[in-house]
Amino acid sequence: MVDRKGKGSRRKTRDKLSKHVRDRGKIKIRYILKEYNRGDRVSIIIDPSFHEGMPHPRFHGLTGIIKNKRGDCYEVIINEGNKEKLIIAHPAHLRPLKS
């Protein structure tokens, strides 16, 4: 018998994509309707209860800069190593950086 391990994008994310018991339930509407301007610095914090526009879990916790708006989502540029990457994420998965 062959072990067929799943290779989906949400594998190995049991802790990363789970909410604290007191945070479970509906997402706050202010997170969905939040507007960002070009050049704003944001943190990518994935909300697992909102599936639309969810970036890949490897980008959870990283910081980037808003480049543009694309539909309801935003284009966020992050630096990973020596590469600049473009991530498309819904505002429900973005938090303004506290500076």
Q: pLDDT confidence of 99, banded at 50, 70, 90?
A: low
Q: Is 37's pLDDT higher than 70?
A: yes
pLDDT at site 54: 95
| Domain ranges (residues) in the chain | 42-99
44-76, pLDDT tens digit by residue?
A: 999 999 999 999 999 999 999 999 999 999 999
- Within 10-88, residue ranges assigned H as helices are 29-32
pLDDT at site 4: 82
Q: C-alpha angle with apex 9: 11 to 55, nearest 5 degrees?
A: 125
pLDDT at site 7: 85
Topology of domain 42-99 in CATH is SH3 type barrels. (2.30.30)
* Percentage of the chain exceeding pLDDT 90: 68
Q: Is 41 left (phi over 0), alpha (psi -120 to 50) or beta?
A: beta
